[in-house]
Amino acid sequence: MTFDYAASAELFLPKGKPGARRTTSYRRFRTAAEAIRFAIEEFPAIRTLGAWMRVGDERFDGDHIRRLYESNSYPRRRRAPKVRLTE
């Protein structure tokens, strides 16, 4: 299956503490590539747990969003990883 990074996408991010009654934040993006970048680069890992994205009739969970971001087919420039210095 090939993924259409140019398709419009909806991103749903949980708000609040896990286990408690949580609300969901909703954002619409012009392209799935933009939604994927936002989910991976702008939110700490704990906030993306439970996140999901809808592209057309397909639903993608947080793990799938990360795999799409790490794919060789991902069309956007990725943020450079932070380098940790060790003593």
Residues 10-66: tens digit of each pLDDT: 999 877 665 656 677 889 999 999 999 999 888 766 555 788 999 999 999 988 998
Question: Considering Cα of 63, then 36, then 69, then 44, what sign does the dihedral take?
Answer: negative
Direct distance between the N- and C-terminal alpha carbons of the chain, in angstroms, rounded to an integer: 45
Q: Is the pTM of this model over 0.75?
A: yes
Q: In degrees rounded to 5, what are phi and psi of residue 56?
A: 65, -125
pLDDT in the model for residue 48: 58
Q: How many CB atoms lie within 10 A of CB 64?
A: 15
pLDDT in the model for residue 19: 60
Task: Give the three-state DSSP class for 5.
Answer: coil
**By the 8 A CB rule, do 84 and 46 touch?**
no
